[in-house]
Structure 1
Amino acid sequence: MGLKTLSEGLSDAIVDYVSSNPSSKANHENASQYLPGGNTRSVLYTSPFPLTFVSANGITLSSADGRTYLDFLGEYTAGLFGHSNERIKKAIQDVVESGWGFGGVGVWEGQLAKRICERFGIEKCRFTNSGTEANLMAIAVAKAILVFGGAYHGSVLAFPSVELQSPLNVPHEFIIGPYNDIKYIQSLQQDPTLTNDLAAILVEQMQGAGGCHAASLEFLRSLGKLADNTNSILIFDEVMTSRLHPGGLQSYHGIKPDMTTLGKYLAGGSSFGCFGGKEEIMRVFDGGRKDGGLVLSHSGTFNNNVISMKAGCVALEILTDDVLVKMNTLGEGMRRELNELCVKYGVQERMWVTGVGSLMALHFGERGEEEGLRDYVKLKNKDAEDLFWFWMVGNGVYLARRGFVALTIEHRKEHVERFLEVVEGFLKTWAHVLQ
């Protein structure tokens, strides 16, 4: 019997997936009677149905079908501490004993703000329930915002390409530019209309949901110059990237933005978002200012919920510089070895890995030019991407369907070696459909 084609392999993989996960299938069908798509978080949907999980411990997930998976998704970067950190668990249990939902100021929010401001060099900050909300508040005072194709700043601030933005986006005036394109930024300097109207620049130093593409230092510096020349606010979205260096990627690059947005892991896995920056900007949210200046309302019932506040304080105690560097060093080595496997099996132009530190994305398709990221992937091979995901899940390794991987502080060398082993098994079996 000859080698199977990609379509044959994918068809078989789907049949195996369905037969191996009957409880997940049943749960999806039941939930779909009340939830569009059977869930309430679109990124979790996957065809023919997503796995249903019933418990988690350390870096493992247990499904409704009695299967155990090594978790390499890390709750899309929010699960940096794993699923059962004892110190965070105790912090949550202790604070719940004291009650929750005060409807007033608690002791922990000021302590968490102090820790965050000191870690990231932020003068003043405020909390939200998610990174999406943090980005919304950061651009609230802007009238025209420069963003970049491939960016994702939340479900209402999504820009899949230079030509497209989500129909759910908030109704701000957006200018969508090509990411990592220095010549484009330089051309904007010559546009007098833009110089007069541009109010903010919102950028990820590494695009997370957009495929883990890192910005060059030169590109980020050019954005700083554009912000200076247009008197606009430079906002670094560090919701994902703040975990890639002790002071965030802005510290690594040595570039100080006017504002920073944060979220994901900083409350130890509880809901959380944060925006902050220069005091002269943040004072517009100070309800007690006495200078007669503008005051903007920033409310949110759960902005200062005691669970997130206390868990965040403990989480930042756990996340020392050494712990963070160790995790990101492990990720750098993992990404390097994955790309070496792609070379070993001669598929490096059809399968490759990008990222920084503990965050990475596997790509399948026809590899294009990296300059400006305009043609980073000339043609995406969605079937190959799907086949890879079914292979990994079938072998007990969980990651995002789109190939996104996020390590946690609980991952060790032996876990990475298992991931590499499963990937090599995939390449041994399916390299022929990628060449």
Structure 2
Amino acid sequence: MTSRTLSEGLSDAISDYVSSNPVSKSNHEDASQYLPGGNTRSVLYTSPFPITFVSAKGITLTSAEGCTYLDFLNEYTAGLFGHSNEDIKRAIQGIVETGWGFGGIGQWEGRLARGICERFGIERCRFTNSGTEANLMAIAVAKVITGRKKILVFGGAYHGSLLAFPSTESQSPLNVPHEFIVAPYNDLQYIQALQQDSTATKDLAAVLVEQMQGAGGCHAASREFLQTLKTLATATGAILIFDEVMTSRLHPGGLQAYHGIKPDMTTLGKYLAGGSSFGCFGGKEEIMRVFDETRSDGGLILSHPGTFNNNIISMRAGCVALEILTDEVLEKMNALGEDLRKELNELCEKYGVQEKMWVTGVGSLMALHFGERKEGQWREYVKVKSTDLGDLFWFWMVQNGVYLARRGFVALTIGHRREHIERFLEVTEEFLKAWGHVLQ
């Protein structure tokens, strides 16, 4: 039998997807009359239309068509506790009974702040509504305190919807208009050379970096690179900000604790409010005291308003989330992720496709890559990305009841078990048996 081509397989996969999801298609068409693109969160759009989900429980999602999927995306890392965690559910139900939106201080924000500060070694923190907002605030604080303008970021980074840097040559046209230096990620020599360039660094306010680029393909920074950034910040008087919105789930104290490198500021978000809206920025007391209205030393005081900064649902859910997420639970989840990534790469090698399909990541977060694999001096990356291969894989997985991001991003939860990992591997191997020829 003649093997089908990639284009034939993709065409058939799209046809099957459309015919299998008529209610989702109709929902998308209806929504598109009022929402541009039929959605209000761009990352959720997928061609020809996204699946509409109507319920979720544990680690499963149920679509409008009544199909059940194993969820390996889990709200892009925010769903670390899975869907409908009973402890978090009871906490939220209790809050609903006692009322919300006080317009005043509640009993939970102080407790959540204590838990976060103790877990991540932060001296003082403030809450926001998202990781995007947390990073915006951290940059703003750094500029005010240093009196400088330049922000060092890295190609491939995503620090929120207004702070996106797809490559060293491009950034989102929606980015806030700061003066950014966009450097190559994980490049020691570039940073060392930058440190010698007094013209470039004399007005450097902050260095903002992910210790593993989540949206950028789950590429992890080396400890040497992160230490070099610490040295640069110290030498220039800039503020080092670790964006741990995603990566804080990869080690009990975040990746900064794993690497033993303490930044001046840290930003957090995603899972830390048990699935509710949340962001956090914090760091050294000498930095964060600019928000202390009680200070009497004549120092600078900044205002940080925000209607939902201390929304009681997020505050209460966050307190419960920290209780659930013991070191043992976190380590078990990340070990399972390490197993999945290792075994996926072994499958790619078994079928001889490792130069066209492979997996990167740390612990419970990973990304599958499709294209021409190239080993760079500082990081492994896709020389020529194959969107069609990635799309074919995604349609295959979804058709077989496994849900992940269209771009190949995977995030585990504390509810995943070995049998769920084996199902992911089983469906992947079936894909390789059917389509390995187009990957060779």
Taking structure 1 as the reference length, the TM-score comes to 0.99
TM-superposed CA distance for 1:401, in Å, is: 0.1
1:403-428 deviation per Cα after TM superposition (whole angstroms, max 9, x unaligned): 00000000000000000000000000
2:420 to 407, 415, 418: 415
* Partner in structure 1 of residue 155 of structure 2: 149
Provide the C-alpha distance between the structure 1 equivalents of 2:239 and 2:157, rounded to a whole number of angstroms: 18
SS in 2 for 1:281: helix
TM-superposed CA distance for 1:376, in Å, is: 1.4
Structure 1 residue 173 and structure 2 residue 179: aligned? yes
TM-superposed CA distance for 1:309, in Å, is: 0.2
> Where do 5+ consecutive residues of structure 2 fail to align?
144-148
* Partner in structure 2 of residue 405 of structure 1: 410
Instruction: Within 5 Å, give how 1:240-255 maps onto structure 2.
Output: 240-255=246-261
TM-superposed CA distance for 1:291, in Å, is: 1.4
TM-superposed CA distance for 1:370, in Å, is: 3.3
- Sequence identity (%): 81
Give, as a single letter, the amino acid of the residue that structure 1 aligns with 2:4: K
Instruction: Within 5 Å, give how 1:165-204 maps onto structure 2.
Output: 165-204=171-210
* Partner in structure 1 of residue 267 of structure 2: 261
2:329 to 323, 336, 343: 323
TM-superposed CA distance for 1:429, in Å, is: 0.3
* Partner in structure 2 of residue 10 of structure 1: 10
1:346 to 343, 349, 352: 352
Structure 1 residue 386 and structure 2 residue 391: aligned? yes
Instruction: Within 5 Å, give how 1:98-113 maps onto structure 2.
Output: 98-113=98-113
Provide the C-alpha distance between the structure 2 equivalents of 1:310 and 1:370, rounded to a whole number of angstroms: 45
Structure 1 residue 360 and structure 2 residue 349: aligned? no
1:339-364 deviation per Cα after TM superposition (whole angstroms, max 9, x unaligned): 00000000000000000000000000
Give, as a single letter, the amino acid of the residue that structure 2 aligns with 1:252: Y
TM-superposed CA distance for 1:219, in Å, is: 0.3
Structure 1 residue 284 and structure 2 residue 290: aligned? yes
* Partner in structure 2 of residue 115 of structure 1: 115
Give, as a single letter, the amino acid of the residue that structure 1 aligns with 2:75: E
* Partner in structure 1 of residue 91 of structure 2: 91
* Partner in structure 2 of residue 57 of structure 1: 57
SS in 1 for 2:340: helix
TM-superposed CA distance for 1:371, in Å, is: 2.3
1:44-81 deviation per Cα after TM superposition (whole angstroms, max 9, x unaligned): 00000000000000000000011000000011000000
Provide the C-alpha distance between the structure 1 equivalents of 2:304 and 2:123, rounded to a whole number of angstroms: 18
TM-superposed CA distance for 1:289, in Å, is: 1.7
TM-superposed CA distance for 1:366, in Å, is: 0.1
TM-superposed CA distance for 1:119, in Å, is: 0.2
* Partner in structure 2 of residue 33 of structure 1: 33
TM-superposed CA distance for 1:95, in Å, is: 1.2
Give, as a single letter, the amino acid of the residue that structure 2 aligns with 1:296: L
Taking structure 2 as the reference length, the TM-score comes to 0.98
Provide the C-alpha distance between the structure 2 equivalents of 1:53 and 1:139, rounded to a whole number of angstroms: 36
Provide the C-alpha distance between the structure 1 equivalents of 2:71 and 2:381, rounded to a whole number of angstroms: 28
* Partner in structure 2 of residue 370 of structure 1: 376
> Where do 5+ consecutive residues of structure 1 fail to align?
none
TM-superposed CA distance for 1:247, in Å, is: 0.3
* Partner in structure 2 of residue 237 of structure 1: 243
Provide the C-alpha distance between the structure 1 equivalents of 2:171 and 2:293, rounded to a whole number of angstroms: 34
Structure 1 residue 228 and structure 2 residue 204: aligned? no
Give, as a single letter, the amino acid of the residue that structure 2 aligns with 1:393: V
Provide the C-alpha distance between the structure 1 equivalents of 2:77 and 2:22, rounded to a whole number of angstroms: 29
